[in-house]
Amino acid sequence: MRNFDFSDMGPDNQVLFFKRAYKLRSDFWLDRLDCSVSFHRQKVEGATFEDAMGFFGNWALSSMILRAKHLGRSELPYYEVGFRDMGREVDHFLYILVDVAENGDELVECFLQLGGKRCS
């Protein structure tokens, strides 16, 4: 697994990066976590990318992780890009999956150009 550092990338550049990742995606979804109902995240059915980005704000923690496989989703390596919004009573999680072989180089290049760093 390889992680990437968003700490020097401002919020505007993070939004630009998420938009680019969305264009390169193989899959995406939005989850919500309402601990007053359940301690498990629930998929938000029918959510659009624009809906998800409405939750991006000051309390969002962004991430990009290189995964070999995850939860049976793929046998091929992919990047998991997204954020967790924790500024409300209900947390939201955006997941964008980008296939490494098809679009990985372009995704990483965009990330680095917008101020992100590799950390491991």
Assign 105 a pLDDT band (cuts: 50, 70, 90).
very high
Which range has the worst mean pLDDT, 5-9, 46-50, 84-88? 84-88
Number of domains in the chain: 1
Q: Shortest CA distance to 53 belongs to which of 12, 89, 101, 90? A: 12
Range of the domain at 61: 2-118
β-pairing verdict for 117-118 and 60-67 = unpaired
Read off the tokens for 50: 């624009």
In the sheet that holds 27-33, the strands lie side by side as 42-43, 27-33, 91-99, 78-85, 60-67, 2-5, 117-118
Identify the pLDDT of residue 58: 80
Query: pTM of the full predicted structure?
Result: 0.90
Assign 68 a pLDDT band (cuts: 50, 70, 90).
confident
